[in-house]
């Protein structure tokens, strides 16, 4: 149990990162004042509802209800906490630069900084901390990028590979206090300057995205030369210098982070006169990869005009209802432009999908989506898709037994034995 005098925490922006940060710090024994400008979200949280799908989060929030104070106002946060964790969104602009307007709005409310420190958890371009300090020299600023993954956010927050803290000399006391918050987690703490901390975040995401685009290109070559990318990744990953993670070939990376952060780093480099060639290729490969599944369907169905295509999964990955930059959205659009009729099912993301996938028939079960379909495309590797009775019920309801497995997730041998045409990625 944490000591009674545990440092109070302020959280600004109660989205994925903000709510997980608030709940985890509360679990570690801190009083947390969490503020969002979205009044409906705060009202839901006050009623005890958790507005996002993240495993374990409802239980964590409920367990720490007494220590979590949700508000739409900044004043109570400033009154109770000195460490203000900024967790607002930094979405992409049309130019590819990060949109810092939400961060700016937060900074504007700290116009007369005194004994507070802004702790930046939002992912921001390198130089953001320095720019804020130029405008508000008296503000204490600590960079503390977040590395959690959706779907395993609490585990990632509580057991991080490392914690990164960047600060200048004037804010070292506050940075020490931030470091002290993480000490119970027992992870390595990387203390550095603000710009390097900002770059560690962007470079880490860009490197992971590069691994994915690399293995996707290897997969595409495997298809030409008769190798199996899953076997190749297994063999490569055992080399400790390469490692087994983020080598799953498939339908490209999506989500609220990789697409925008890779683009933002490319843009950041470009703005300072350096053309980051590698990232340009990483992005191009990813865009093409999302579309390649259409070609696999055409290989077996010919023209897609009037064909019924079932998308299994809408979320950008399993265990989340986040559909930002999901492959399913690109795929649905491409299929429709080829003349196909698209239906889709996802265990948790249908509500969010309704707002974006207007011409797609959203189904309440996988079987409903597969009923009468000319082909199924597995887009998100939800475990329940592997558990389907492919040889029985699925085979009976589909018009044609064609499966394109965009995540190499299904049991290829079992499907083929049951008479399905199976197309994976890179195998
Ligand atoms: N989602 C992830 O997995 C993840 C992981 C690591 C880092 N990040 C980074 O963390 C940041 C937040 O990401 P997210 O996915 O949690 O975003 P989100 O869109 O889920 O949440 C952002 C929240 O901030 C609120 N907000 C906006 N302006 C505000 C203001 N002035 N005051 C208070 N609240 C305000 C919004 O209403 C929203 O609820 C981004 O910079 C993102 O790149 C995200
Ligand atoms: O081998 C792999 C691993 C992932 N993906 C795809 O990559 C995307 C991102 O997946 P993942 O990284 O698991 O989820 P995110 O929640 O987007 O987390 C990433 O983005 C966060 C926001 O910056 C960071 O904090 C995390 O460290 C970073 O992993 C998804 O579309 C996955 O399907 C693959 O295609 N192949």
Tens of pLDDT along the chain (427 residues) come to 444 479 999 999 999 999 999 999 999 999 999 999 999 999 999 999 999 999 999 999 999 999 999 999 999 999 999 999 999 999 999 888 899 999 999 999 986 667 899 999 999 999 999 999 999 998 999 999 999 999 999 999 999 999 999 999 999 999 999 999 999 999 999 999 999 999 999 999 999 999 999 999 999 999 999 999 999 999 999 999 999 999 999 999 999 999 999 999 999 999 999 999 999 999 999 999 999 999 999 999 999 999 999 999 999 999 999 999 999 999 999 999 999 999 999 999 999 999 999 899 999 999 999 999 999 999 999 999 999 999 999 999 999 999 999 999 999 999 999 999 999 999 9
List Cα–Cα distances, 404 to 244, 302, 376, in angstroms: 24, 14, 6
User: Closest Cα to atom 15, ligand 2: which residue?
Assistant: 149
Q: How far is the CA of 36 from the centre of ligand 1 (A)?
A: 10
Q: Where are the alpha helices (DSSP H) in 253-345?
A: 258-271, 277-301, 327-337
What's residue 390's pLDDT?
Answer: 98
Domain residues of the chain, as ranges?
A: 9-192, 221-423
What's residue 234's pLDDT?
Answer: 98
Annotated binding site for substrate: 147-150, 201, 246-250, 254, 317
In a 3-state reduction of DSSP, which class is residue 402? strand
The 3 state secondary structure assigned to 25-39 is HHHCCCCEEEECCCH
Ligand nearest to the CA of 161: 2
In the beta sheet, which residues pair with residue 166?
143, 192
| CB of 206 sitting under 6 A from ligand 2 | no
| CB of 41 sitting under 6 A from ligand 1 | yes
User: Closest Cα to atom 2, ligand 2: which residue?
Assistant: 246
What's residue 250's pLDDT?
Answer: 98
In the beta sheet, which residues pair with residue 12?
35, 86
- 267 CB-near residues (< 8 Å, 6+ apart): 95, 96, 97
| CB of 308 sitting under 6 A from ligand 1 | no
DSSP states of 7-69? PPEEEE--SHHHHHHHHHHHHTT--EEEE-S-HHHHHHHHTT---S--TTHHHHHHHTGGGEE
Annotated binding site for NAD(+): 36, 41, 90, 123, 150, 260, 324
CA distance 15 to 199: 23
Please say whether the dihedral angle defined by the alpha carbons of residues 399, 403, 409 and 414, taken in this order, is positive or negative. positive
User: Can 257 be counted among the known catalytic residues?
Assistant: yes
What's residue 112's pLDDT?
Answer: 64
What's residue 5's pLDDT?
Answer: 76
What's residue 3's pLDDT?
Answer: 47
| CB of 256 sitting under 6 A from ligand 1 | yes
Q: Do domains 9-192 and 221-423 have the same CATH topology?
A: yes
Contact of 187 with 160, CB cutoff 8 Å: yes
What's residue 163's pLDDT?
Answer: 98
Q: How far is the CA of 90 from the centre of ligand 1 (A)?
A: 7
Q: How far is the CA of 149 from the centre of ligand 2 (A)?
A: 6
In the beta sheet, which residues pair with residue 192?
166
CATH of domain 9-192: 3.40.50.720
Q: How far is the CA of 205 from the centre of ligand 2 (A)?
A: 8
| CB of 205 sitting under 6 A from ligand 2 | yes
What's residue 307's pLDDT?
Answer: 98
CA distance 86 to 143: 10
Q: How far is the CA of 134 from the centre of ligand 1 (A)?
A: 24
| CB of 153 sitting under 6 A from ligand 2 | no
**What class is the 221-423 domain?**
alpha beta
pTM: 0.96
Give the active site residue among 24, 87, 222, 257.
Answer: 257
């Amino acid at each position: 149990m944490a000591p009674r005098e545990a440092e109070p925490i302020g959280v600004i922006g109660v989205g994925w990162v903000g709510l997980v940060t608030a709940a985890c710090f509360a679990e570690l024994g801190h009083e947390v004042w969490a503020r969002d400008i979205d009044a409906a979200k705060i009202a839901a949280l006050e009623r005890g509802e958790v507005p996002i799908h993240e495993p374990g989060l409802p239980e964590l929030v409920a367990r720490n209800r007494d220590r979590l104070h949700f508000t739409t106002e900044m004043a109570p946060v400033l009154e109770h906490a000195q460490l203000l964790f900024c967790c607002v969104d930094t979405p992409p602009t049309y130019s590819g630069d990060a949109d810092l307007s939400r961060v700016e709005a937060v900074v504007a409310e700290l116009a007369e900084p005194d004994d507070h420190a802004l702790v930046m958890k939002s992912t921001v371009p390198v130089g953001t901390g320095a720019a804020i300090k130029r405008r508000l020299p008296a503000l204490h600023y600590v960079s503390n990028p977040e590395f959690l993954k959706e779907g395993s956010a609490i585990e990632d927050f509580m057991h991080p590979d490392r914690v990164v803290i960047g600060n200048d000399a004037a804010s070292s006391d506050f940075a020490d206090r931030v470091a002290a918050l993480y000490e119970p987690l027992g992870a390595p703490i990387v203390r550095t300057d603000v710009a390097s901390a900002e770059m560690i975040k962007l470079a880490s995401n860009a490197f992971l995205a590069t691994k994915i685009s690399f293995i996707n290109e290897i997969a595409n070559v495997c298809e030409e030369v008769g190798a199996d990318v899953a076997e190749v990744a297994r063999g490569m990953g055992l080399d400790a210098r390469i490692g087994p993670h983020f080598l799953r070939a498939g339908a490209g990376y999506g989500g609220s982070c990789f697409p925008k952060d890779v683009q933002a780093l490319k843009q950041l480099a470009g703005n300072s006169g350096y053309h980051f060639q590698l990232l340009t290729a990483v992005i191009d490969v990813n865009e093409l990869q999302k579309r390649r599944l259409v070609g696999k369907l055409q290989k077996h169905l010919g023209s897609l005009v009037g064909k019924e295509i079932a998308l299994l999964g809408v979320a950008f990955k399993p265990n989340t209802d986040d559909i930002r930059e999901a492959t399913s959205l690109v795929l649905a659009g491409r299929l429709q432009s080829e003349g196909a009729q698209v239906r889709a099912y996802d265990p948790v993301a249908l509500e969010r999908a309704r707002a974006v996938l207007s011409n797609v028939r959203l189904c309440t079960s996988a079987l409903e989506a597969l009923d009468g379909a000319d082909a199924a495309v597995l887009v998100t590797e939800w475990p329940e898709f592997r558990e389907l009775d492919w040889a029985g019920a699925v085979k009976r309801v589909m018009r044609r037994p064609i499966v394109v497995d965009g995540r190499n997730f299904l049991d290829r041998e079992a499907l083929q034995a049951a008479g399905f045409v199976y197309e994976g990625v890179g195998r």
